[in-house]
Amino acid sequence: MIDTRQIEVKHVSESRLPKVDFDNLPFGRVFSDHMLIARYDEGEWKSVSIEPYGNLSLSPATSMIHYGQSIFEGLKAFRNDNDEILVFRPESNWERMNKSAERLCMPAVPREYFVEGIRQLVELDRAWVPNRPESSLYIRPFLFATDEMLGVKPSESYIFMIITSPVGPYYANPLHLKIETEYTRAAPGGVGAAKAAGNYASALYPAKLAQEQGIDQLIWTDAKEHRFLEEAGTMNMMVVIDGTLITPKLSSTILPGVTRNSVLKLAEDRGITTEERDISVDELLDAHRNGTLQEVFGVGTAATIAHVVKLTHNDEIIDLPPIQSRKVSTLVGTDLLDIKMGNAPDPYGWNMRI
Ligand code: COI
């Protein structure tokens, strides 16, 4: 095993930074100068290095391509007005990656590669961290199977990588979501609680059908009866009914979101009542009819808080309360941003300062 504190670094000969238009950053299409790459084989991590961002060369029989043993994470680094760079909750993403890895029969990624790897990579590419409002450096760690083999079994070799991408907002506008009653994102006992690449692939087709009707994304419901709310697009889902913040409780079909957890903690600190429990579609629609449904929003790393302003349920289109009236998400969203930017105390020690 190599000494993980000594990540070998190969620098780019010329930075691509001058070519980047920081005022027009599409999500996830521009990549910083360097990437981290680590290789696992024969039961141990063999190498780790930071290198110029570039293509990989892989066998066409690489098992990840065929059977989807592939997981990822998403987190962000922020630059504040004092030019400090803060990475939000890297330890939480590391812990979740290793839970996903266990579910997909993959090796755990050492903390030194994940957390210290992010520290060194972001330090090296610190000039790539945007300073515009609503912009950040999106950090994408991922792990995939690399055995050259067509048999269906856990791979014996893997690559762990971290790439980073300066990004603007994920959603340009508030969302119109359809309550999905035919397709399913996750079933009990499946991989819905893991950040597995395949979860995102299987969501594409139902989302595309909704997008053809002018709808942005889906509210996923339970696989058995389509009666209970699960997630919103690629985010966890939250509603406020009569002042109480409610979110589906964690289960094998819900991703344990880092933003979900942060929002719940900050809401509790503010004295807002929170509940993690089943929410039925009927409860949501009844609350709308009797005027107690105050807010519906998605929470995730990429979008942070994404307001939902319209719902489609079967043939009905429902307009939700205006964003200006949404006290809980506004309050908690502001608290969250203040902590992430280092503009407020960080009582939970969430930030890693670079
Ligand atoms: C995130 O919010 O980080 C996500 O998982 C969305 C991502 C797939 C772009």
Q: Say how many Å lie between the CA of residue 301 and the centre of ligand 1.
A: 6
Residue 110 CB less than 6 A away from ligand 1: no
* Residue 266 sits in the same domain as residue 319: yes
Predicted confidence (pLDDT) per residue in 24-49, tens digit: 998 999 999 999 999 999 999 999 99
Domain membership of residue 22 (yes or no) is yes
- Reference 150, options 17, 284, 59; nearest CA is 59
The Cα–Cα gap between 207 and 216 comes to 8
Predicted confidence (pLDDT) per residue in 134-147, tens digit: 899 999 999 999 99
Ligand 1 atom nearest to 72, measured from its CA: 5
- Reference 78, options 129, 117, 27; nearest CA is 129
* Residue 189 sits in the same domain as residue 321: yes
Task: Determine the 3-state secondary structure of 13 from DSSP.
Answer: coil
Residue 141 CB less than 6 A away from ligand 1: no
Q: Say how many Å lie between the CA of residue 200 and the centre of ligand 1.
A: 9
Q: Say how many Å lie between the CA of residue 58 and the centre of ligand 1.
A: 25
Domain membership of residue 123 (yes or no) is yes
Kindly tell me the burial class for residue 82, based on how many C-beta atoms sit within 10 Å of its own C-beta (0-12, 13-18, 19 or more).
exposed
Residue 117 CB less than 6 A away from ligand 1: no
Count: domains in the chain = 2
Which of 127, 149, 169 is where one domain is finished? 169
Q: What is the pLDDT of residue 2?
A: 52
* Residue 180 sits in the same domain as residue 131: no
Residue 74 CB less than 6 A away from ligand 1: yes
Q: Say how many Å lie between the CA of residue 303 and the centre of ligand 1.
A: 8
Q: What is the pLDDT of residue 3?
A: 56
Instruction: Indicate which residue's Cα is closest to atom 9 of ligand 1.
Output: 302
Ligand 1 atom nearest to 27, measured from its CA: 9
What's the CATH code of the domain at 260? 3.20.10.10
Q: Say how many Å lie between the CA of residue 127 and the centre of ligand 1.
A: 23
Place of tokens 């190498």: 47
Domain membership of residue 348 (yes or no) is no
* Residue 217 sits in the same domain as residue 333: yes
pTM check: above 0.85: yes
* Residue 216 sits in the same domain as residue 308: yes
Q: What is the pLDDT of residue 132?
A: 87
Q: What is the pLDDT of residue 134?
A: 86
Task: Determine the 3-state secondary structure of 315 from DSSP.
Answer: coil
* Residue 323 sits in the same domain as residue 200: yes
Ligand 1 atom nearest to 138, measured from its CA: 3
Residue 166 CB less than 6 A away from ligand 1: no
Tokens of 7: 């990540």
- Reference 144, options 71, 95, 199; nearest CA is 71
* Residue 278 sits in the same domain as residue 204: yes
The residue range of the domain holding 184 is 175-340
Domain membership of residue 8 (yes or no) is yes
Count of residues for the chain? 354
Domain membership of residue 349 (yes or no) is no
Residue 300 CB less than 6 A away from ligand 1: yes
Count Cβ neighbours within 10 Å for each residue of 33-43 and write b for 16 or more, e otherwise. Answer: bbbbbbbbbee
Count Cβ neighbours within 10 Å for each residue of 263-291 and write b for 16 or more, e otherwise. Answer: bbbbbeeeebebeeeebebebbbebbeee
* Residue 159 sits in the same domain as residue 84: yes
Mutate to test the pocket of ligand 1, among 71, 202, 301, 304 (most ligand atoms within 8 A of CB): 301
* Residue 121 sits in the same domain as residue 41: yes
Q: What is the pLDDT of residue 169?
A: 87
Q: CA of 113: how far to CAs of 7, 108, 258, 344, in Å?
A: 9, 11, 20, 29
* Residue 196 sits in the same domain as residue 327: yes
Residue 302 CB less than 6 A away from ligand 1: yes
Residue 234 CB less than 6 A away from ligand 1: yes
* Residue 182 sits in the same domain as residue 305: yes
DSSP secondary structure code for residue 99 in this structure: H
Mean pLDDT by 10 residues, the chain (354 residues): 72 96 92 98 96 98 98 97 96 98 98 97 97 93 98 98 95 95 97 98 98 97 98 98 98 98 98 98 97 98 95 96 96 96 96 96
* Residue 117 sits in the same domain as residue 237: no
Which of 169, 194, 227 is where one domain is finished? 169
Predicted confidence (pLDDT) per residue in 83-132, tens digit: 999 999 999 999 999 999 999 999 999 999 999 999 999 999 999 999 98
